[in-house]
Structure 1
Amino acid sequence: MQAFAVAMSQLPLPSDAALAHSAELHGAIVREIEAAGGWLSFARYMELALYAPGLGYYSAGARKFGAAGDFVTAPEMTVLFGEALANQVAQVMAATQPQLIEVGAGSGRLAADLLLALERLSALPERYAILDLSADLRQRQYETIAAAAPHLLSRVEWLDSLPAQFSGVVIGNELLDALPAHLVVWTGDGIRERGVALGEDGRFTWNDRPATGALLAAAEEIGHQCTLAPGHLSEISLAVSAWSAEWGHRLAQGALLLIDYGFPRHEFYHPQRNSGTLMCHYRHHAHPDPFYLPGLQDITVHVDFTAVIAAAHGAGLDLLGYASQGQFLLNCGILDRLAAITPETPDYYRASSAVGKLLMPHEMGELFKVIAIGRGVDAPLLGFLRGDQGHRL
């Protein structure tokens, strides 16, 4: 506890305006807790902290991605990530329809890189749709694409909701980890849901109550499949399962390519991971306190990829591949793209360093996974020709 307090004290101080913004969101969450009778599920708290209109982390105007933000995603590290991914996207579009949707497009960096790479492959989509409800991020995405690929901007459109029917490729890079998750404790007396209440000082505090409904059913299933000692705390994202299943009603033909950090279920709920995976990111500092400055920090949980494919398969979709990010990018030719850069130049050294972080097991190569789910795609996918780990799910 003392080490945690020291770590939190070392976080950068926000501006007065940022503190006022956080205080406003804090007040809004307090009012919702009071209106709900004094208790909110953590999933609802996470939803408000990240997506409350005009106040949530992803809904307001603070810069989130890149060196000036709170974390760096793979597309921000090197253009080679998008160039390698483009090879897989082109294969699926050639077998289905030349349409692409990116859900949660961040800064727009991946969209710009993919468009340029697909242009070089003579495989441009007729339409590159972006689903992002944040007006601030939509503007930044527009500016990024306009600066990098102005001649391709006419192919890009922004969606307000998922299409009723779609054929082509759907991309979600670091999307699922930011969908709301419930906190669950398996105890000797039953399964309890850990939610958010108010302490006497008006601050947020943890409060447990018996789990019910769909959450209880999911927790019981996990308890039967995994060895969980009393007191095991972890996350269950009903939102991730629902989102994955929804595509069974909307995807006529094509594939979802989902890239995120996580594990198969037996690893996600491993006895040694008995405190869960909840983590927050603020100014490139990672810490475990989701109550710190709501609205100014990201809140994430790892992905249970078994839950993803179970929900998708139940909705009629197939598992098309599951691999580590490192293996997927190797299969998609990222080293060939690196080799195309003039050796012993600053550009080469920067790209080589970034590729190392994307591929190496002790960096992002093993923790991040790529799962492909879809319908009507018969040919083996390029990114999973070697090292497919679907059997582990």
Structure 2
Amino acid sequence: MGEQVEKTELANILAQRIAAEGDLTFASFMEAALYEPGLGYYTSAGRKVGAQGDFYTSMNVHSAFGRMIAKEISRFWELLDSPANFTIAEAGAGGGQLALDILDALAELNQPLYQGICYRLIEKEPSLKEAQETFLARHGAHLAWSTPEELASGNLSFTGCIISNELFDAMPVHIVEMTGEGLKELYVGVRNGELVEKHGPLSDPQLAEYFTKFQVALMPGQRAEVNLCAAGWIAAAAATLERGFVLTVDYGYLAEELYAPQRKDGTLMCYYQHQTGEDPFELVGQQDITTHVNFSDLMAAGVEAGLQNVWYGEQYRFLLGTGMVEELMRLEAAATSEQERIAHRLNLKKLMLPEGGMGDTFKVLIQAKGVENPQLLCMRKWGMGL
């Protein structure tokens, strides 16, 4: 992590906090950098996503992404015997773009489902509600809000689905390193008023157990991130569902690949104005901090909580199975100019293509509760009906 640091108000606050209270685990530092009230990356003013923000997600590339998810949600509804009341809970909905694309698609494609929908936005940041309410105004009768704490409490209960797009990659992580003295944890301390990294003993016995559980042996000098929050989130989602599905879109790998020796420095990345960096101590509170997701952890947590792992694969496979080729044909037929057709092709190419696109970087995991052996759209042979 670099030496030249641009100080922010939050960096100064954290330095004072550490000086007074002691070193922070990296997870505690990351929690503050992203979510400190009023000063964290996700809890301060300013647009984070899209051309004016710091990064793109799939939903910002083309509305077809949300439309394909809407088609799979329609399939969820059918597999649940087409209930009159159906909840779609989206965790970390941000500006509401994915919600809008899904609701627009369902209003067009499946009116019986749309009429009974409650679209519940699970948000950590209270100020987002007003913006979401305005952005989603045409679907206002179908909207509801809850906090992550309400999801975790077990007091919510519904039939439907819980979806997320790039939720887990922004959860705080512990960082560990295999040293000559065994596994050590990285802490954030202060030296001459500056935030610095330090090695220390493991703050939680779960950190060592985690690598045993996934049969991972880190190489000497290898760093790795550990998300101890993800399993609890999956368990809460499972408890909330009476029957239904959990659909997760994020970038990551199964444990064996995520913690492979070639990832010697881990996967932590920072994003600021579409530029990537590797120093989380720069622009504290003003840059995003993310890590790749351990999908093996989400799967294991789901099984422990009573979920069935139904489908896991690259985003391009999900999109092909849910009908992206047909969608491109529909868009091209409706386009009024060659320029519009080319724009559709280029954007869908970005969603689909591996090696530089989002097609294989992003993965989709679908888990089910109370549905035996569900046959999903994403399982189809490409371009074929069920």
TM over 0.5, shorter chain: yes
Query: 1 CA distance for matches of 2:338 and 2:166?
Result: 31
Deviations 1:184-206 (A, max 9, x none): 11223211111111112x11111
State the TM-score, normalized to the length of structure 2. 0.89
Q: Deviations over 1:71-95 (max 9, x none)?
A: 1111111111111111101111233
Q: Which runs of 5+ in 1 are unaligned?
A: 10-18, 388-393
Q: Residue 338 of structure 1 aligns to a residue in which SS? A: helix
Which residue pairs with 1:221 in the alignment?
213
- 2:153 counterpart of 1:159: no
d(CA) in 1 for partners of 2:258, 2:381: 24
Per-residue deviation at 1:213? 1.8
* Structure 1 residues 319 and 136, CA gap change in structure 2 (3 angstroms): same
Listed as ranges, the matches of 1:193-232 within 5 Å are 193-200=185-192, 202-211=193-202, 212-222=204-214, 225-232=215-222
Question: Does residue 1:382 correspond to 2:351, yes or no?
Answer: no
Alignment of 1:1-393 (within 5 A): 23-37=8-22, 39-96=23-80, 97=83, 98-122=86-110, 123-124=113-114, 125-146=116-137, 150=138, 152-160=139-147, 161-162=150-151, 163-200=155-192, 202-211=193-202, 212-222=204-214, 225-341=215-331, 342=333, 344-362=337-355, 363-378=357-372, 379-386=374-381
Identity of aligned residues (%): 36
Flag as ranges the 4+ runs of structure 1 deviating above 4 A. Answer: none
Does the 8 A contact of 1:338 with 1:348 survive in 2?
no
SS in 1 for 2:59: helix
RMSD of Structure 2 on Structure 1 (CA): 2.0
| Cα displacement string for residues 209-257 of structure 1 (whole angstroms, at most 9, x for unaligned residues) | 12142222213434xx234211110101001122112223222211110
1:13 alignment partner in structure 2: none
Q: CA deviation at 1:27?
A: 2.8
How many residue pairs align between the two structures?
364
Write the deviation string for residues 129-176 of structure 1: whole angstroms up to 9, x where unpaired: 101122343333223223xxx1x2211122123153232011100111
- Cα pair distance change 1:68/1:265, threshold 3 Å: same
Amino acid at match of 1:238: L
Equivalent position amino acid for 1:143 in 2: T
Match of 1:390 in 2: none
SS of structure 2 residue aligned to 1:226: coil
Residue 135 of structure 1: SS of its match in structure 2? Answer: coil
Contact 2:162 2:237 (8 Å CA) reproduced = no
Gaps of 5+ in 2: none
- d(CA) in 1 for partners of 2:278 and 2:130? 31
Distance of 2:94 and 2:63 partners within structure 1: 15
Task: For 1:244 and 1:231, locate their aligned partners in 2 and report how far apart those are by CA, in whole Å.
Answer: 31
